[in-house]
Amino acid sequence: MTAKDNAFKGQGPLAGLRVLDIATVVAAPSAAALLADYGAEVLKIELPGVGDGCRAFPPFKDGKALWWKVTNRNKKLISLDLRKPRGLALFKRLLPRFDVLIENFRPGTLDRWGLDRDTLWALKPGLVILRATAFGQTGPYRDRPGFARIFEAMGGLTYISGEADGQPMHAGYPIGDSIGGLFGALGVMTALWKRAAHPDAPGEEIDLSLTEAMLKLIEFLPIKYDLLGESHERSGNTSQYAAPTGVYRTRDGQWVSLSGSTNALFAANCRAIGREDLLSDPRFGGNPARCAHTAELNALFADWFLANDLADVLASFERHKGTLAPIYSARQIVEDPQVKAREFLCTVPDRDFGEVRIQGVVPRFLRDPGAIHTPGGAIGEDNDEVFGDWLALDADEQARLREEGVI
């Protein structure tokens, strides 16, 4: 049995759950990958010859997209064109084997292909359908396309990121996709919980607006505007609800991030920089007072960091139980003793590079842990098994379907 066979067999609390992933790029496929992490058996469908757009995203090694390998881990991969009549017929034969369908086409696309929700539920009663789109299935923006920067910009995160006197900033990674994937996986599991309690319950359709996922993430910003008439503004690396906080440079050119809102943590941080005298200063007698004097506090801490090397900074804060962290690059993450001790970066076999290291499963289950078995593979690499073994199509029939561009 190959590693791929083990992956589809399932290991973890979701073993036995079957998910059909016909989504593209990052957010919705990430939701499917999270379910696969916990043991769900995930089959991903791509367009023949073209594949998922994520395959075109850098970084690349030897022409292979590395991002693809992480986002589509633990999945079986087939190619099938649902827009063609024979492709649609094969899809309808496959669907009854699955508990969950994940898609992220624009609203109404599957309906036009003859796969409206009533048809899907007729093929598989009780099917959970996750529909992930930029703005949801309803509303004036329902037909607009969307990518992570759209969700982040219109979801409020970009506006509050950046320096107070500078332009709004996106993160250097499409965090909107990752957040959407988390909400997608949570939505699926919520629907499955109801079905577990009521096996005869009808199917569920989940309308995931990826922009709403970002709006949910920013928590108090709408209520702040609603009740106080204030729009939350940018403040750079300085927190608006705790002080002192910020990103600071050390003498040897490294960077650290400081936090801590309680009086106890403030005391620990002051002791770490040898300024216990600050504890008796009335300007810093509680978090509200400290927030009112953020600039003074940040300047005091910044001067101390600039006068000390990173190793000494970290040692002092660890000794006094302060709330400080080094700001890690990818190299530092990989080399960190905590990451190594927990073996979070796991090595898995890969057909292109022999083996690769990717992140493990979050969170960890004590009695029934999930696992990462394989990275994302080639377009249609499991066609023979799925179309041959599952659907009993002989080699000649598969060859004809390939010539017609169906698979």
Burial of residue 45 (number of CB atoms within 10 Å: 0-12, 13-18, 19+): buried
Asked if omega into 59 is within 30° of 0 (cis), the reply is yes
Tell me the H-state helices in 38-159: 66-71, 85-94, 109-112, 117-123, 148-154
**Which of these, 278, 284, 269, lies nearest to 325 by C-alpha position?**
269
Active site (annotated) includes residue 177: yes
CA distance readout (Å), 250 to 46, 244, 300, 301, 356? 48, 16, 13, 11, 34
Burial of residue 74 (number of CB atoms within 10 Å: 0-12, 13-18, 19+): buried
CA distance readout (Å), 8 to 41, 44, 373, 404? 5, 11, 9, 28
Query: Can you tell me the distance from the alpha carbon of 314 to that of 284, in angstroms, rounded to the nearest whole number?
Result: 24
- Please spell the DSSP secondary structure of 246-263, one letter per residue: EEEE-TTS-EEEE---SH
**Which of these, 29, 35, 8, lies nearest to 104 by C-alpha position?**
29
Tokens standing for residue 323: 């709330």
Distance of CA 205 to the CA centre of its chain: 21
Distance of CA 113 to the CA centre of its chain: 29
Tokens standing for residue 107: 């609203």
- Among the options 21, 81, 99, 177, which is catalytic? 177
Distance of CA 262 to the CA centre of its chain: 30
Q: Are strands 128-133 and 204-209 parallel, antiparallel or unpaired?
A: parallel
CA distance readout (Å), 2 to 7, 9, 26, 41, 143? 9, 11, 26, 15, 42
Tokens standing for residue 62: 């030897």
What are the residue numbers of the active site? Answer: 177
